[in-house]
Chain A
Amino acid sequence: MTDNNGFQMNRRGFLVTLTGLASVPILASCSSGSPTQQATSTAGAKAAKQFTYWSNWNKGEPTQQVLASVFSDFQDKSGITVQAQWKGRKPVQKLLPALNTGNVPADLISDNTGQIVNVLGSTESARNLSSVYGMTLPGEKHTVKDLIGRYEGYAKPEGKQTLVMFPYVSQFYVMWYNGKSFPHLKDNPPENWSEFFKLLDSLRAKGRRPLALDGSNPAYNLQYFNNFAWSIGSYDQWIKAATDKTGKTWNQEPFQKAAELVEKLVKGDYFIEGYKASKFPAMQQKWANNESDFIMNGTWTPTESKPYAAPGFEYRSFPFPAVKGHKAPPIKLGFQGMAIVNKVPKARQEAAAALLPWLLTKEAQEQFAKKAFQMPVRTDVKAPDQLADALKALKSGNITPHLPPPSVTPYVNKVLKPADDDLVFGKSTAKDFIANLQSASQAYWARQQG
């Protein structure tokens, strides 16, 4: 390397320096192979008197306030201090780089099911919570397993038997409507789509487009096809189809019928005007202003749409009805949960573990429902009016037993959702949809193998 003044830098020296610099992070990442050893060696009795919690909630959010109050009770009774850091959304992503080092800054972390099970669980960064599931709740006779044992399928990473997630509130989709507009539905929700279609047709006859849908969100669009398929077929059959390398499972009758029902909704103009070309939450806003009648959306809908809802809007809901002659589709659950990082000292892990049952006490669960409008995971608590129907649906016990395998998510994003969008937007018929899905699935899985 020569500068303008004739300075000659030794080329080899320069390259060696550069390579040395470049190798710093690689070596750093490689040398962090034994963080557990480093961490456990620093374990001490004093450290167990406190631990650090990274939260996916921001300070001031209702759920944060409930958590802070639970922590306060826990600290008073146990003498263990919770050093809570309210990080806001996706703290697992923020923690990931530190997991490659010997200095992990969080002992307990909260996030959604996918982040905990698929990210922390699959990378073996979360502690097995089997012992926590066996703990008894403070002031109650129940064990943790009594209350959330039925969600164990959600807490295990694919192919593993370790329980890495501790769910404390749940989320799922239901059909929302304004109770003031349809008072008769409170006690007699449509049991199947035959009944529901009658109601929808009566609304169509009045010139209404009764189903609100924010088409810009492919996840919302997919609710119809999935739930029809889970009703006519089953959740496991759907997973089989979504992981079938040949794509041929999509040819089965339940999926064809499900696609035909979606096609019927599209061709019958049941979906709200503008759903094909709007930005979320435009259609949800129209629904909340009574411009449409029903919306298939999450248990977060009342919180999300309350600021712009029509005065006196009464949130009511019922589960996605069954297709006539078939069972009701299971409710696919999502959770907000906690995980203990397994690369921190054992004493701190134990301190964090002691806190977890406190999140399931009747008092805490009622606070989540009443103050934060979150769906409690316990079904024996009183939910606020907005969530009462949804809680009833959860109580029915008709839930999907486990998460889909992690490989299904990228498949759904890249294959199923684009094909379903075409169906929902009327760009393809039910027949085309199945054919497209089959060929696109085949090509997708061939790429994964290659």
Chain B
Amino acid sequence: MSVGTWAASVHRKRMRTARVRQRGTPFERARRRLFLPFVGPALILYGLIMIAPMVFNLWVSVNHWAGAGAFTFVGFDNYAFLASDPVFRESFVNTILIVVVGGVGVFAVSFFLTMLLRNMFGKRYLRLIVFFPSIVPGVVVSILWGFMFNQDGLVNLILGAIGIQHPPLWLSQDNMLWIVILGLVWLHAGVYTTVLTAAADRIPPELYEASELDGASSFRQFRSITLPLLMDVVTVCAILWCESALKVFEFILVFGGASSDLPPTAVWNIALYSYASAFDPKAIPRFGVAAACGVVLLCLTLVLSVFARRITRADRITY
């Protein structure tokens, strides 16, 4: 075999190998053929249930629409209107306050309870008690919460009993949002405490035993062992909190509203603003503006989720 023939043969062989690699083994080819038949239905469902409504919402947000009848294309007018409306700006700020201040509150309480419950006697039953507020419907909690903070409600009775005769006006419009946030913390802290304590249970006890021998306090154990080893779960919890806090709706509607009227604008968040735009019982519905609110919420969810991931980012620790 001449050198030229040998070289040509090697080249052919390489080309054939490359083609086989490209096409894959028969098993891989069969898998590829079955990809669409298997994934297709799920893709169609996902498209119909998730993507299509989102695209439809996007379309509505660039139109004037009363919920029935003709669409009038208005470009970005609805977004410009939102940007210029002080009530929307206030609603936006309130939304961020709920996410951030509420988030700090929820996780502070959850971490504290996680730390407290780790070694406590009867911790299983205590967890149930902590989890209890989360199974009560938000609307019920909202109503009870309102009555607790009324001028002659339970909170002021307790404060009066310990000598505080002039408590703050909890439910005045200036303070109402803070009371809403407090209510949300109370409502949600149990869920996150349950998730975090469940994750903390998986941390090997010898780590705590070793740290105890080294003289670490409970707080030091939490800071140096529990928290770093829970970071993955904390990240997921932070994203879940952002997503749920952005959509808080019925709690505010019931807490601030009366019968069929809307609550004062001082406590509106974006979800409530969107509702007021589409479903004000006495006005022509503005679904375009409501849909634009939906797009703003979607963007906020994405931004806050990325932000939550970044601030809770840590090296993965295997144990």
Contact = CB atoms under 8 A, between A and B. Distances in A.
Interface of A: 3, 5-7, 9, 17-18, 21-26, 29, 89-90, 93, 96-97, 99-100, 112-115, 118-119, 122-125, 214, 216-220, 273-274, 276-282, 304, 406-407, 409-410, 413-414, 417-418, 421, 425, 443, 447, 450
B239 to A, nearest CB: 25
B265 interface: yes
B149 A425 contact: no
A407 B286 CA distance: 11
B52 A21 contact: yes
A128 to B, nearest CB: 16
A410 B283 contact: yes
B281 A90 contact: yes
Contact of A17 (B43, B173, B261): B43
B266 A418 contact: yes
B282 to A, nearest CB: 4
Contact of A6 (B28, B47, B265, B266): B28
28 contacts: A5-B24, A5-B31, A17-B47, A18-B47, A21-B52, A24-B48, A25-B55, A25-B56, A93-B67, A96-B68, A112-B281, A119-B67, A119-B284, A125-B68, A217-B261, A218-B264, A219-B261, A273-B151, A274-B151, A276-B169, A276-B172, A277-B170, A277-B172, A282-B151, A410-B286, A413-B280, A414-B85, A421-B264
Contacts of B28: 5-6
Given A5-B32, A21-B51, A118-B282, 20 more contacts: A23-B55, A25-B56, A26-B59, A93-B67, A96-B68, A99-B68, A99-B69, A100-B68, A119-B67, A123-B69, A124-B69, A220-B258, A277-B170, A277-B172, A406-B284, A413-B283, A417-B264, A418-B265, A421-B173, A425-B172
Contacts of B54: 22
Nearest to A281: B258
B31 A7 contact: yes
Given A21-B47, A214-B258, A279-B150, A96 B67 contact: yes
A284 to B, nearest CB: 9
B22 to A, nearest CB: 9
A450 B147 contact: no
Interface string B2-24: 00000000000000000000001
A216 B280 contact: no
Given A26-B56, A115-B281, A447-B84, A125 B151 contact: no
A314 to B, nearest CB: 24
Contact of B152 (A29, A112, A219, A274): A274
Interface of B: 24, 28, 31-32, 35, 43-44, 47-48, 51-56, 59, 66-69, 71, 80-81, 84-87, 146-147, 149-152, 169-173, 175-176, 255-266, 276, 279-286
Contacts of A112: 260, 281
Contacts of A9: 35
Contacts of B47: 17-18, 21-22
Contacts of A118: 282-284
Which 10 A-B pairs rank lowest in CB-CB distance, beginning with the nearest? A21-B47, A279-B146, A280-B258, A277-B169, A274-B151, A114-B282, A409-B283, A22-B55, A217-B258, A99-B68
Given A17-B43, A114-B282, A282-B150, A414 B87 contact: yes
Given A406-B283, A406-B284, A410-B283, A417 B151 contact: no
A214 B51 CA distance: 44
B64 to A, nearest CB: 12
Among the interface residues A118, A304, A407, which one has the most CB atoms of the partner chain B within 10 A?
Answer: A118
Contact of B52 (A22, A281, A409): A22
B258 A7 contact: no
Contacts of B152: 274
A278 B171 contact: yes
Contacts of B149: 279
Nearest to B142: A279
A280 B146 CA distance: 9
Nearest to B170: A277
Contacts, number: 157
B281 A114 contact: yes
A124 B86 CA distance: 32
Contacts of B69: 99, 123-125
A180 to B, nearest CB: 24
Contact of B51 (A18, A93, A100, A406): A18
Contact of A417 (B55, B150, B265): B265
B279 A93 contact: yes
Among the interface residues A124, A217, A279, A418, which one has the most CB atoms of the partner chain B within 10 A?
Answer: A279
B52 A25 contact: yes
B35 to A, nearest CB: 6
Contacts of A18: 47, 51
B288 to A, nearest CB: 13
A447 B85 CA distance: 7
Contacts of B171: 216, 277-279
A411 B35 CA distance: 55
Contact of A119 (B175, B265, B285): B285
A102 to B, nearest CB: 13
A22 B255 CA distance: 37
Nearest to B263: A216
Contacts of B43: 17
A216 B67 contact: no
A218 B261 contact: yes
A277 B264 CA distance: 12
Contacts of B284: 118-119, 122, 406-407
B261 A6 contact: no
Contact of B283 (A23, A114, A214, A417): A114
B318 to A, nearest CB: 22
Given A25-B52, A277-B151, A123 B84 contact: no
A18 B262 CA distance: 39
A15 B304 CA distance: 27
Contacts of B31: 5, 7
A285 B28 CA distance: 74
Contacts of B259: 217, 280, 304
B282 A409 contact: yes
Nearest to B66: A123
B96 to A, nearest CB: 20
Nearest to B53: A25
A276 B280 CA distance: 24
Contacts of B260: 89, 112
Given A25-B53, A123-B66, A279-B171, A7 B32 contact: yes
B56 A7 contact: no
Nearest to B173: A421
A9 B32 CA distance: 9
Contacts of A278: 150-151, 171
